[in-house]
Structures are given as C-alpha cells and as structure tokens.
Amino acid sequence: MRDHFELQAYDAMGRLGELTVPRADVTVETPALLPVINPHHETIDPGRLAEFGAEILITNSYVIYGSDEVREPALEDGLHDLLDFDGAIMTDSGSFQLAEYGEIDVNTTEILEFQREIGSDIATPVDIPTPPDADREQVGREMETTQARLETAADFDAGEMLLNAPVQGATYPDLREQAARDAYATGLDVFPIGAVVPLLNDYRYGEMVDAVAGAKRGLGEDAPVHLFGAGHPMMFALAVAAGCDLFDSAAYALYARDGRYLTVRGTEHLDELEHFPCECPVCSARTPAELRDRPTHERTKLLAEHNLHVSFGEMRRIKQAIRQGNLLELVETRARAHPTMLDGYRALLDHAEQLERTDPASKDAFFYLSGESAARPEVRRHHDRLARLSPPADLLLATDPDAHAGADADVWAVEPPFGPVPRGLDQTYPLTAELPDRLDDRAYRAAARGVNRLAETSDAAITLVDDGWPASALDLLAEGVDIDTTVEE
C-alpha cells in the first residue's frame, strides 16, 4: 500500500487526494497542475508560482545535466535554491529529448543519481516514449525496455525521493493495461502516462481517454496518475474524470510566446481579441489593444500569467465539482467547446462500467444536459439495480402514474433515461435528476433498456404507456413488453 497518496473523494473516476512528497516536506492537493520550468527560458519567475496556486512544478534534469550554465549551481545549491521555489519539484529524465532526437548520452542510473544529487523530490527514469501509431511489435519491444529501466529504478537508493514509473503502450489499451500492471508491481511511487502529447496535439481526445482507461485498469487505486504533457485547461476536466491526478503544463509559456491566449473553451489569438473574456488580474487591468502595444518580452510575460490564472482556475473549479458531485456536468460543458472534445467525452462514457466502480452512489444532483447524459454511470447503475426488484405480477409503466390510478394493474413511473421507477424511490438519487422538457431520443432508448432489464429479471407482465415515445425507443423493447397506445392520460 502506497502511504504517500491518500484519497478523499471521488466523482466518476476523478478523485481528490493528497500526495505527500517527503523530501520536500510538502503535501500536494490533487488534482494538481505542475508548471513546466525551463531554467534557460523562465517566462515567469518560479518564485512567484505560489501566487497562482502552484504547490509543485516540473523541470527537466537532462537539460540541467547538459548545461554548463546551471549544472554546477544545481549541484552546489540544489534545485529549490536554483529555482527559488519552496514547493515540491518533479524532474523529467530526458525521455522527451530521446523521443525528439533518437538518443541521449545518459542512462537511467546516471540520471537518477543526478536527480538525487540536485535535490529533486520526484525523479524519473529514462523510459521509451513510443509514438501513438507504432505497430504492436515496436510497442511491445519498447515496453520491455521501459520495464527493465523501471526495475533498475526500483533497485535504486532514492532515499526520500519519490520515483516515477512511466506507463507506455501507445494507442493499444490492452498494452497500456499490461504496462501499468507491470509498472505498479515495481513498487514505485507515481505513474505518468507517457507519450500522449502527439494525441493531444492532434486533438485525438477519444484515443487519449482509451489509453488512460487502459492504464487505470492496470493500476491500484492508491496509484497517483500523471498525464505527461497535458497542459491545456480545455481538457483538464475530461482527464480528471478519467482518473488522472497530475498534469504538467508548458502550454502557458509556449502559447504566450506565440501570442496565444488560453481559455477553458480553446485558444484565442491576441491579435484577434477586442475584449478579454476573463476576470484575472492581467485581463481586468488592461485591454487587448493595450497588451498588444507592450514590448514583446512584457507582453509574453503577461500572457503567460493569464494562461496560468486560467489553468489554475480550472483546476480549482474541477476540485469543487468533485466535492459537489457534478464533475461529469462540467466535463459535458467543456465537451461542447470542440467536436474532438465531444469524442473524448463519448469515449469516457464508453467506459461507464469502469466509471461506475468509483462513482458515488449518491450525489447532490444529476443534470441531464444532452443525449450523452443517457450513458452516464448513474443510468447504468439504476438499470443494474432493477434486477433486484420484485415487481407486481401486472405492471403498467407510465410517464404520469397518477393519471392511471384507476388502472387494473399496479402503476409505476417510467422516467427517461432511467426507465422504471418504483413508488417511493422517485426522491432518491439519481431519480431526482433535473431533466429538460424536450428530451432527445437517446434518453428514451436508455429508458427502454431499463424496461427490458426489468422484464428480463422478473416474471411480471409489463405494459408501457406510449405517450409520445419515439419509434427508435419502442423498437428496442423486448417482445414480452406490451405497448399501450389507448390508455387515456
């Protein structure tokens, strides 16, 4: 059992937790964002990051290792003094450079020793970041190399320094699961899901979700999960709902240098803005035109500050959503920002069985926002629970059961997307859901599956009152379910 990661609350697969980093004597609240700091190109003074809410940052130990300018100061004074940062510091190993250039001049033991010497709090071995579209043979071969390096790291004398165990597997969920299971067995501490940046750059959010879900199946619940290179606030809620706890962002600085302005709905170009859609200190104190008139270095710094404010603001919003039990509503709201984000949300709901294992059985509210809501884990759970019921021998299902009080059969409500609702349960979660007056066909099709579930697991003679159900839902009903179009409302 990993005693450095304590879980406090769940919503879907998203969770609130505390990651204890002993070498820094810091406890990081998760989900957490790690700003990426390049010691050669500091867009923002790392000593100011606490102003934005940063409790942890990440920098690249291989860059420091190969730099005459910062290597000796790092060895002599330590990373915390070099970067003027009191929180926890994670270091990458050079795997990014390996992926970019094909080779690096350091091995796992050497880079771990260097990370320990410069005072890293969470260190990383040299894994092989396999690109998304590699064939299975290459993926399997490189997974074996990565696993061997993780086992080397497991034997390394790290002291109080935590160690990352990157999970590879490209776009093969089963290989992600295998890699995660093998990484978890090493006893290492934090589990970054690697080589997803190409997916994120190409907006392949559905495949990203499938990769994360595969990795999560191979990891224990006490495993903190880091989504390497995921730095755009638009996708934080989706990734948290899939079970990720840590994110590292270079986007705040890289986008700022290119004049790009982050929002939770996507990216804007400063040159195209007439008004700032944000209330952060940067945006509330000036107009886009005023910012465009600033010298380049000052404009870049202020844009980076805005980007960090937006990113940390979204992370706080996600934490509150988990507390209130409406994380999936936030995910769905974000999914409407871009078609590929919607792909990601639909991919997440394809893993409803996995989501349902940790999703709380009771929350404050269920808001039906679109057809995707019909696939949420709460609906699946209700359908599963229908198998526990013993309905009356003759059962009439109606949208308004009070209108059929004189019927010969017992009357239950039927509520899209849930299906049959026994009397007395209509005030329990999720049957208290807030529903729009105009439901889409997917809500009715989900309800039809609920009716079928009850029919399959009981001997009741079930009749459904058709008071305007779409044909696509009625066609799904099992043969034993009668449809009554004549009962008066």
Do 151 and 253 belong to one domain?
A: yes
CA–CA distance, 429 with 325 (Å, rounded to integer): 11
Annotated binding residues for Zn(2+), as ranges?
278, 280, 283
Q: What is the pLDDT along the chain (489 residues), one digit of tens a residue?
A: 578 999 999 999 999 999 999 999 999 999 999 999 998 888 899 999 999 999 999 999 989 998 889 999 999 999 999 999 999 999 998 766 655 555 667 789 999 999 999 999 999 999 999 999 999 999 999 999 999 999 999 999 999 999 999 999 999 999 999 999 999 999 999 999 999 999 999 999 999 999 999 999 999 999 999 999 898 999 999 999 999 999 998 999 999 999 999 999 999 999 999 999 999 999 999 999 999 999 999 999 999 999 999 999 999 999 999 999 999 999 999 999 889 999 999 999 999 999 999 999 888 888 888 889 999 999 999 999 998 988 999 999 999 888 887 777 889 999 999 999 988 888 889 988 888 988 999 999 999 999 999 999 999 899 999 989 999 999 999 998 999 887 544
323 contacts 8 by C-beta, under 8 angstroms: no
Query: What integer pLDDT is reported at residue 188 of this predicted model?
Result: 97
303: tokens are: 């844009």
Structure token digits, residue 415: 């509520």
SS3 411: strand
What CATH number does the domain containing 210 carry?
A: 3.20.20.105
Question: Among the three residues 355, 384, 417, which one is the final residue of a domain in this structure?
Answer: 355
pTM as predicted: 0.92
Asked if residue 365 is part of any domain, the answer here is: no
Write the DSSP assignment of 20-75 as a string of letters: EETTTTEEEEESEEEEEE-TTS-SS-GGGHHHHT-SEEEEEHHHHHT-TTTHHHHH
Say what the pLDDT of residue 489 is.
44
What pLDDT was estimated at residue 441?
94
Same domain, 351 and 385: no
Same domain for 55 and 140?
Answer: yes
Q: How many domains does the chain divide into?
A: 2
DSSP 309-361: HHHHHHHHHHHHHHHHT-HHHHHHHHHTT-HHHHHHHHHHHHTHHHHHHHS-S
The label of the residue with tokens 């019921």 reads 389
Distance CA 476, CA 395 (A): 19
Token pair of 227, please? Answer: 């989504």
CA distance 52 to 261: 17
Let me know if residue 368 belongs to a domain: no
Identify the active-site residue in 25, 86, 92, 484: 92
| 350 a catalytic residue | no
Is residue 186 in a domain? yes
Q: Is residue 220 part of a domain?
A: yes
Co-location of 230 and 119 in the same domain: yes
Instruction: Tell me the C-alpha distance between 82 and 78, whole Å.
Output: 6
Residues 327 and 408 in one domain: no
- What whole-number distance in Å separates Cα of residue 128 and Cα of residue 142? 6
Query: Which of 355, 389, 417 is the C-terminal boundary of a domain?
Result: 355
Same domain, yes or no: 378 and 351: no
Classify residue 283: in a domain, yes or no.
Answer: yes
What gap in Å lies between CA 393 and CA 388, rounded to an integer?
15
DSSP code per residue over 82-93: HHT--SEEEEE-
- Known binding site for substrate: residues? 127, 195
| Integer angstrom CA distances of residue 271 from 72, 246, 474 | 41, 32, 53
One domain for residues 105 and 39: yes
Q: Report helix angle 173-185 to 205-218, nearest 10.
A: 40
Q: Collapsing DSSP states into helix, strand and coil, what is residue 256? A: helix
Q: Which of 355, 383, 411 is the last residue of a domain?
A: 355
> Which residues are part of a known binding site?
127, 195, 278, 280, 283
Within-domain flag for 366: no
Selection from 379, 391, 325, 319 nearest residue 349 by Cα: 379
> Looking at residue 133, what DSSP letter applies?
T
Strands (E), 399-481: 410-415, 419-421, 461-465
Task: Please answer whether residues 171 and 207 qualify as being in contact, where contact means their C-beta atoms are separated by less than 8 angstroms.
Answer: yes
Q: CA of 69: how far to CAs of 105, 123, 267, 456, in Å?
A: 18, 21, 34, 71
The Cα 483–Cα 479 span in angstroms is: 10
Q: Please list the residues that pair with 260 across neighbouring strands.
A: 269
Which residue range is the domain that position 380 belongs to? 373-484
In this structure, are strands 410-415 and 56-60 parallel, antiparallel, or unpaired?
unpaired
Dihedral in degrees, nearest 10, Cα atoms 39, 24, 226, 187: 130
Is 76 a domain residue?
yes
Asked whether residue 246 falls in the same domain as residue 119, the answer is yes
Residue 326 shares a structural domain with residue 224: yes
